[in-house]
């Protein structure tokens, strides 16, 4: 991958975090995650690149450590578990005023092929087929983890983290042979000798400092550990269909998942899931993120009007749930 670090530096210099599309070098927002924003910089040398800006590092040691884990995580997923990923790279630099800015870079995938977009075109049968394909991909990671528990990989199976290769929105059906790409690798959770490699504190830095104790508790107990747990990853994936405005799919997918864990995935010994459990999980999870985002907006307001300091993070607009 050819990366123009000079362009990234120039982009950063003229970035308006409140309105990225009106920055000196404009950027189109490709998507919002729960924590960060992904955009395409509108310049020749950044065409077809998905740029994920990480303004969270305080020292060179921190960013180089992250880069090592990020690359290692991507390589292990690709080579050891057999999951497919888009082409990727990483770049970082120090700005004129001494801030460290890092970018996870990825080949940009067609927006209609991103699964949360694609399912809006699909019928129930196709969504069910897609869901089974996702479970099969996840199973590659879970089998790897079962064989190497000390070096387990965390994975976030949500539907918005996958893309369908060669997807044709004009013919939005999907077969069992379709290939999926996993692209949400910016939180590279992985263990080595049983020890988590990624410092979760890094990902709390976008949170208001006055609420760190709450965030720390939510993250460490709830959010970070669930990515290693096949049952919780599956519950999270299914519950996500409420957020994606497909509540009618939840019972269908609970049924499909139970079928999968009774058959192909039986080695994992997963206790059957129930719809009630998914609903309870969703209302708790949605609350966590709504509160988190509201606190960050309040923090941005504090920075602007009270502290009169620049607010460096990009926040999503209203997320429909």
Applying CB under 6 A, the residues found at the interface with ligand ATP are 30-31, 33-36, 38, 50, 86, 106, 108-109, 114, 160-161, 183-184, 186-187
Q: How far is the CB of 310 from ligand ATP (least distance, A)?
A: 22
Distance CA 143, CA 268 (A): 8
Q: How far apart are CA 45 and CA 240, in angstroms?
A: 35
- Measured between alpha carbons, how far is 183 from 162 in angstroms, rounded to an integer? 6
In Å, the largest CA–CA distance within the chain is 58
Q: Which residue is nearest to Mg ion (CB)?
A: 184
Our finding on whether 31 is near Mg ion (CB under 5 A) is no
Which does residue 17 bind out of ligand ATP, Mg ion, none, counting CB within 5 to 8 angstroms by kind?
none
Could you tell me if residue 108 is left (phi over 0), alpha (psi between -120 and 50 degrees) or otherwise beta?
Answer: beta
Q: Which is nearer to ligand ATP, 38 or 77 (CB)?
A: 38
- By the 10 Å C-beta count (0-12 exposed, 13-18 middle, 19+ buried), 211 is classed as middle
Residue 145 binds what, of ligand ATP, Mg ion, none (CB under 5 to 8 Å, by partner type)?
none
Euclidean distance between CA atoms 153 and 142, whole angstroms: 8
In whole angstroms, the minimum distance from the beta carbon of 159 to ligand ATP comes to 9
Query: Which residue's CB is nearer to Mg ion, number 176 or number 318?
Result: 318
* Placement of tokens 């387990």 in the chain: 152
Report d(CA 33, CA 35) in Å as an integer. 5
Q: Which is nearer to Mg ion, 23 or 161 (CB)?
A: 161
At residue 228, the 3 state secondary structure works out as: helix
Residue 259 contact, options Mg ion, ligand ATP, none, Cβ 5-8 Å cut-off depending on partner type: none
Q: What is the nearest approach in angstroms of ligand ATP to the Cβ of residue 52?
A: 6
Helix (H) or strand (E) holding 181: strand 180-182
Least CB distance to ligand ATP at residue 30 (A): 4
Phi, psi of 68 (to 5 degrees): -60, -45
Output 135 or 189, the one with its CB closest to ligand ATP.
189
List the alpha helices (DSSP H) in 164-229.
212-217
Which listed range, 177-185, 200-208, 259-267, 310-318, lies at the site for Mg ion (CB under 5 A)? 177-185
Cα–Cα distance between 53 and 49 in angstroms, integer? 12
- Structural element, H or E, at residue 146: helix 124-147
- To ligand ATP, the closest distance from the beta carbon of 35 in angstroms equals 4
Could you say which of ligand ATP, Mg ion, none residue 35 binds, taking C-beta under 5 to 8 angstroms by partner kind?
ligand ATP
Residue among 4, 25, 32, 33 that touches Mg ion (CB under 5 A): 33
Residues 145-174 that bind Mg ion (CB under 5 A): 161
The one segment of 16-24, 30-38, 54-62, 101-109 that binds Mg ion by CB under 5 A: 30-38
Q: Could you tell me the smallest distance in angstroms from the CB atom of residue 14 to Mg ion?
A: 27
Binding site for Mg ion (CB under 5 A): 33, 161, 184
């Amino acid at each position: 991958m050819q990366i123009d670090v000079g362009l990234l530096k120039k982009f950063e210099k003229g970035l308006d975090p409140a309105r990225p599309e009106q920055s000196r070098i404009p950027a189109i927002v490709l998507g919002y995650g729960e924590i960060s924003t992904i955009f395409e910089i509108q310049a020749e040398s950044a065409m077809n690149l998905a740029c994920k800006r990480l303004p969270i590092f305080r020292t060179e040691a921190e960013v180089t450590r992250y880069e090592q884990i990020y690359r290692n995580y991507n390589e292990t997923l690709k080579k050891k578990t057999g999951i497919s990923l888009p082409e990727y790279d990483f770049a970082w630099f120090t700005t004129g005023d001494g801030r460290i800015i890092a970018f996870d870079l990825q080949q940009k995938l067609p927006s209609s092929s991103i699964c949360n977009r694609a399912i809006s075109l699909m019928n129930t049968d196709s969504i069910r087929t897609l869901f089974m394909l996702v479970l099969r991909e996840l199973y590659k990671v879970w089998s790897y983890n079962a064989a190497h528990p000390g070096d387990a990989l965390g994975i976030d199976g949500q539907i918005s983290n996958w893309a369908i290769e060669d997807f044709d929105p004009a013919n939005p059906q999907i077969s069992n042979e379709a290939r999926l790409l996993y692209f949400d690798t910016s939180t590279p959770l992985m263990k080595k000798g049983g020890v988590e490699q990624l410092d979760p504190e890094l990902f709390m830095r976008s949170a208001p400092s006055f609420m760190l104790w709450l965030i720390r508790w939510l993250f460490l107990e709830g959010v970070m550990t669930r990515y290693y747990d096949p049952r919780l990853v599956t519950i999270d994936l299914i519950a996500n269909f409420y957020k994606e405005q497909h509540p009618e799919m939840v019972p269908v997918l609970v049924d499909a998942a139970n079928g999968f864990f009774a058959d192909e995935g039986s080695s994992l010994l997963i206790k059957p899931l129930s719809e009630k459990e998914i609903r309870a999980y969703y209302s708790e999870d949605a609350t966590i993120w709504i509160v988190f985002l509201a606190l960050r907006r309040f923090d941005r307001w504090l920075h602007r009007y009270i502290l009169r300091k620049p607010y460096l993070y990009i926040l999503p607009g209203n997320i429909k749930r």
